[in-house]
Amino acid sequence: MISRIVLLCVGVGAAVALAGCGGSGASGGKNTVVAAFYPLAYAADQVAPPGTHVVDLTRAGEEPHDLELSPRDVARIGDARLVVYAGHGFQPAVEDAVRGRSGPSLDVLDRVPLRGTGDDVDPHVWLDPHRYAEVTRAIAAALGEPARAAQLVRRLGALDHELADGLRHCERRTIVTSHAAFGYLAARYGLRQVALVGLAPEAEPSPATVARLADTVRATGATTVFTEPLVAPALADTVAREANAVTATLDPLESLAPADEKAGVDYFRVMRANLAALRKALGCT
């Protein structure tokens, strides 16, 4: 299980933090990998060598988009053996802290083909198991343990086949989502994503935009508007009601819900739940 390490070096200077707080133990930099949010922490936890502590900066139930770092978090980043994060403005506070450290850091978005350019890059590469496998390989290589990626990569390959088979024969091919997080998944499996808002899930469209979105949903023939566990469903509920559609949950897997984390739910269980939701919404056989 991914560890959340309590750093005992509050108040020390940057030089001491970079030195690993003066010793071994749970907070020792040489034994710690800091990951910016859940999918990166999960992959790091799977491929890191024994004795490595993986720290997830984004707590369960929190939106990684909104992450603000405490001084303790900044110290963790400075002290870590490796920091794994997603760039292109996905978590600006993490990028700022990474620039202030001297150790190795891995921007996983540098390792896979991306959708979009510049500030409009879609960071949700982990929703495509094929791209997520490349992220896994990159993390293992950055830790000097490339062979340790093999088992997770095999599991991701099997999941990729499972998704492809499950979404091959469907009455509909359009998914209507709360925000534009599912572009990689849609492209991988021949679906079309229609997002109610852009890549920032907190955006609030005007009433006129809501009416236009409802018209768009009706025009696609979609019967379901997908909400997300960590985003208020008010917009999706309103659009679905006006479009005479139902709502269902599709999880972008940016963070686990606290109850799911406690129950031991992981990436694969969430992705299979997403597959079940998609199959029902799209009328797949």
Query: Do 147 and 242 fall within a single domain?
Result: no
| Mean predicted confidence (pLDDT) in 260-268 | 96
Q: Is 72 exposed, middle or buried (0-12, 13-18, 19+ CB in 10 A)?
A: middle
Phi, psi of 239 (to 5 degrees): -65, -45
From 92, 126, 158, give the residue that closes a domain. Answer: 158
Q: What is the reported pLDDT for 20?
A: 34
Of the given ranges (3-12, 101-110, 129-138, 190-199), which has the lowest mean pLDDT? 3-12
Is residue 5 over pLDDT 90?
A: no
Is residue 25 over pLDDT 80?
A: no
The DSSP 8-state label assigned to residue 189 in this structure reads: T
| Mean predicted confidence (pLDDT) in 52-73 | 95
Q: What is the reported pLDDT for 199?
A: 58
Query: Do 59 and 176 fall within a single domain?
Result: no
Instruction: Tell me the pTM.
Output: 0.88
Report yes or no on 8 lying in a domain.
Answer: no
Average pLDDT value over all residues in the chain: 89
Identify any residues that bridge with 56 across adjacent strands, giving them in sequence order.
35
Query: Do 133 and 213 fall within a single domain?
Result: no
Is residue 18 over pLDDT 60?
A: no
Report yes or no on 274 lying in a domain.
Answer: yes
Report yes or no on 7 lying in a domain.
Answer: no
From 158, 176, 196, give the residue that closes a domain. Answer: 158
| Mean predicted confidence (pLDDT) in 189-195 | 96
Report yes or no on 9 lying in a domain.
Answer: no
* DSSP H or E run through 234: helix 234-242
Dist CA 155 CA 116 (whole Å) = 28
Query: Do 153 and 71 fall within a single domain?
Result: yes
Copy the structure tokens of residue 93.
Answer: 């506070």
Of the given ranges (119-123, 158-162, 213-217), which has the lowest mean pLDDT? 119-123
| Band of pLDDT at residue 1, cut at 50, 70 and 90 | low
Instruction: Check: CB of residue 137 under 8 Å from CB of residue 249.
Output: no
Phi, psi of 137 (to 5 degrees): -60, -40
Report yes or no on 37 lying in a domain.
Answer: yes
Give the percent of the chain with pLDDT over 70.
88
Query: Do 138 and 119 fall within a single domain?
Result: yes
Q: What is the reported pLDDT for 200?
A: 61
Number of domains in the chain: 2
Query: Do 22 and 130 fall within a single domain?
Result: yes
108-151 pLDDT, tens per residue?
Answer: 999 999 999 877 899 999 999 999 999 999 999 999 999 999 99
Instruction: Check: CB of residue 32 under 8 Å from CB of residue 55.
Output: yes
Give exposure, 79-95, as e/b (b: 16+ Cβ within 10 Å): bbbbbbbbbbebbebbb
| Mean predicted confidence (pLDDT) in 246-257 | 96
SS3 at position 132: helix
From 158, 177, 203, give the residue that closes a domain. Answer: 158
Higher pLDDT, 204 or 187: 187
Q: What is the reported pLDDT for 119?
A: 74
Q: What is the reported pLDDT for 66?
A: 87
Identify any residues that bridge with 84 across adjacent strands, giving them in sequence order.
35, 106
| Mean predicted confidence (pLDDT) in 228-251 | 94
| Mean predicted confidence (pLDDT) in 40-49 | 98
Q: What is the reported pLDDT for 19?
A: 32
Q: What is the reported pLDDT for 16?
A: 31
CATH code for position 112: 3.40.50.1980
Report yes or no on 72 lying in a domain.
Answer: yes
Q: What is the reported pLDDT for 202?
A: 63
Contacts 24+ apart (CB under 8 A), 210-213: 210/235, 210/238, 210/239, 210/242, 211/242, 213/239
Range of the domain at 208: 167-282
Distances (CA, A) of 196 to 51, 176, 227, 236: 44, 7, 10, 8
